[in-house]
Structure 1
Amino acid sequence: MSEMLNDPEFRQLLGHLGLLWKGYRRVRKGVKKRVRRHMRALGCPDVTSYLQKLDEQEEVRLECDRLMTVPISRFFRDRMLWEMVEQEILPQLLKKYSAGIRVWSAGCASGEEVYSLKIVWERLGGSPRRQRDLEVTATDMNPINLQRAKAGVYPASSLKEVPEQVKAQYFVSQGGSGLHRIRSFLKRGIIWKKHNLLSDPPPRSCFHMIFLRNNLLTYYQDKLKREALGRVLGCLCKDGVLIVGSHEVLPLGTHQLLPLGSLPYVYQKRF
């Protein structure tokens, strides 16, 4: 058995899982190695026997789903988006919802997106916020990601877009290790949950803002995209804000959403 799957084998696996070749083409090497190790551990000599295991054993399928994820996360990824969140989106939501704001980070990876939002919230501070609550529900299908997110310890590479002043105010350097720990007060008001966008119901109803930047719209075939996106939109409030990845495109027929502002991946739900 070779160290990783060849491309025809990998395409066979992708088709079985409802995933797109074009989404994985540039990142397939590492994913193929992980899957091959999983096959070896299960004693599967070929893809056909592996697919049979996936269909017969739920825990094997869940582990394969985890191995297929390609998290891309760092603090303040896409600077223009975070400027819009701080200067436009959150202030507008604060004017409309006096009781507080509920946000869902769907596919939160290791938590960088969640803590970026918390930092922006703290920076707003003072009278515009008036001590109103920010409740963040952060979900991911990978429990290892959730453990890392809860710990809140990150390498310098995750902070490369964080200004030094912000880094000094919201992180604690871990000596000579090169690691940085998020300050504990930023962890308040975050609900961490294991959740699969393709199969689990939304964690609650009526979110005011949802981050869906987890590559769901990049990797999955149209049928699965539509089903998952439908569940996501079902728990977004009217006039709520949906943010997807900067290179992602919504499936055709997503009539509930209108573009919001100048960034083509920020939308507002109209009904």
Structure 2
Amino acid sequence: MISITNNEFKQLTEFIHREYGIHLKEEKKALVTGRLYQVLAKLQMTSFKQYYEYIVKDPTGKAVQTLVDKITTNHTFFMREAEHFTFLKHQVLPFLASTVHDKDLRIWSAGCSSGEEPYTLAMILDDFFGREKPHWDTKVLATDISSQILEKASKGVYPNEDIAVLPANWRINYFQGYDKEHSIIQDQLKKEVIFRRFNLMNTAFPFKKKFHVIFCRNVMIYFDNETKHQLVERFYDHLMPGGYLFIGHSESIPRESTRFTYIRPAVYRKE
């Protein structure tokens, strides 16, 4: 296996941090080497220095996208941190249903990974609005930096054992059989989720309208404190007054340095 020197690791991880905010510590050296070994072998490269030069000089962007796909961790599951979804349905959505007068409800799943979170949000919205749903625009924007994981998410195919945690009526209404061991999201629900590749490190967010709800859970654990602070500030600027930010329970926002109001564990609001 091709080994990575300290200087090569520093050069590569500084690039990843600068471009994508992901902070890879020294103890991640073996992980980085293991995940990239086959890439280097396929390119017939003999060093990580050679690989780094290839990445930064590639005009197509495909090389850096392969790097992102390899080094990002995309672990999630249906109903992860389920109390967030309960709070959304029973507290947030009733408030928004009575205050969003143009019926244009904007929800963003940032760092959506393999799609379980945005599809769950779409199911909650459909279930909550019921017969009123046709009168509302409730499409969920789902973004991630990995093209590979977005392709998987857009297909909407999941093992039956993974969707067993969902309510029975959701499994009936929003899924159909794919093969003996998998189910696929119904086309009608698929249309409610818009998948896009997006880098949260972009200093300018290209959204024309502000969001009412942003879910960015278990993403910032990979960022250093300054990167997290800057991202949270951008989230604040792109939320409507009264809008909510949901983060992971293993994450926190320092109350003394944020404009957000703490509501409950991992839930914040723009007052």
TM-score greater than 0.5 by the shorter chain = yes
Q: What TM-score do the two structures reach when normalised by structure 2?
A: 0.82
Cα distance change, pair 43–223 in 1 and its aligned pair in 2 (3 A): farther
Q: What residue is the counterpart of 1:52 in the other structure?
A: 53
1:229 equivalent in alignment to 2:228: no
Assess, with a 3 A threshold, how the Cα gap between structure 1 residues 150 and 200 changes in structure 2: closer, same or farther.
farther
The DSSP-based 3-state class of the residue aligned with 2:249 is coil
Counting only pairs closer than 5 Å after superposition, residues 94-243 of structure 1 correspond to structure 2 as 94-100=97-103, 101-126=105-130, 131-176=135-180, 178-199=181-202, 201-204=204-207, 205-215=209-219, 217-243=220-246
Residues 13 and 120 of structure 1: CA distance in aligned 2, closer, same or farther (over 3 Å): same
In the alignment, the residues of structure 1 paired with residue 45 and residue 253 of structure 2 have an alpha-carbon distance, to the nearest angstrom, of 37
| Paired position in structure 1 for 2:87 | 84
Q: Shift of the alpha carbon at 1:30? A: 5.8
**% identical equivalent positions:** 26
Q: Distance in 2 between matches of 1:152 and 1:6?
A: 40
Distance 1:200 1:112, change over 3 A: farther
CA drift at 1:166: 2.5
Q: Does the CA contact (< 8 Å) of 2:113 and 2:144 recur in 1? A: yes
Aligned CA-pair RMSD: 3.0
My pick for the range that moved more, 247-256 or 144-153, is 247-256
Q: How far 1:120 sits from its partner (Å)?
A: 0.8
Check the 8 A contact 2:65/2:147 in 1, yes or no. no
Aligned-partner residue type, residue 225 of structure 1? K
TM-superposed deviation, 1:240 = 0.8
CA deviation vs aligned residue, 1:34-62 (integer Å, no higher than 9, x gap): 22222333344233333333333362333
Instruction: Summarize deviations over 1:175-197 as a string: whole Å, max 9, x none.
Output: 41x11111222123332222111
Contact 2:178 2:184 in 1 (8 A): yes
Offset at residue 266 of structure 1 (A) = 0.8
For the pair 1:33 / 2:34, whether they are aligned, the reply is yes
| DSSP 3-state at the match of 2:142 | strand
The CA distance in 2 between the partners of 1:207 and 1:243, in whole Å, is 13
Q: Unaligned 5+ residue runs, structure 1?
A: none
Alpha-carbon separation, structure 1, partners of 2:205 and 2:242: 18
Distance 1:97 1:9 in 2: 51
Q: Tell me by how many angstroms 1:265 deviates.
A: 0.7
Between Structure 1 and Structure 2, how many residues are aligned? Answer: 263
SS at structure 2 position matched to 1:229 = helix
1:141-178 CA-partner distances (Å, limit 9, x unpaired): 222222222222112343242133431232112241x1
Q: Is the alpha carbon distance of 1:57 and 1:200 closer, same or farther for their aligned partners in structure 2, counting shifts above 3 Å?
A: farther
2:57 is matched by which residue type in structure 1?
E
Structure 1 residue 214 displacement after superposition: 4.9
Q: TM-score, normalised by structure 1?
A: 0.82
Deviation at 1:241, TM superposition (A): 0.6
> SS at 2:106's partner residue?
strand
CA distance in 1, matches of 2:166, 2:204: 34
| Cα distance between partner residues in 2 of 1:252 and 1:31 | 34
CA 1:214–1:163 in structure 2 vs 1: closer, same or farther (change >3 Å)? same
What stretches of structure 2 of length at least 5 have no aligned partner?
none
| Cα separation, 1, equivalents of 2:32 and 2:171 | 32
SS at match of 1:70: coil
Contact 1:212 1:245 in 2 (8 A): yes
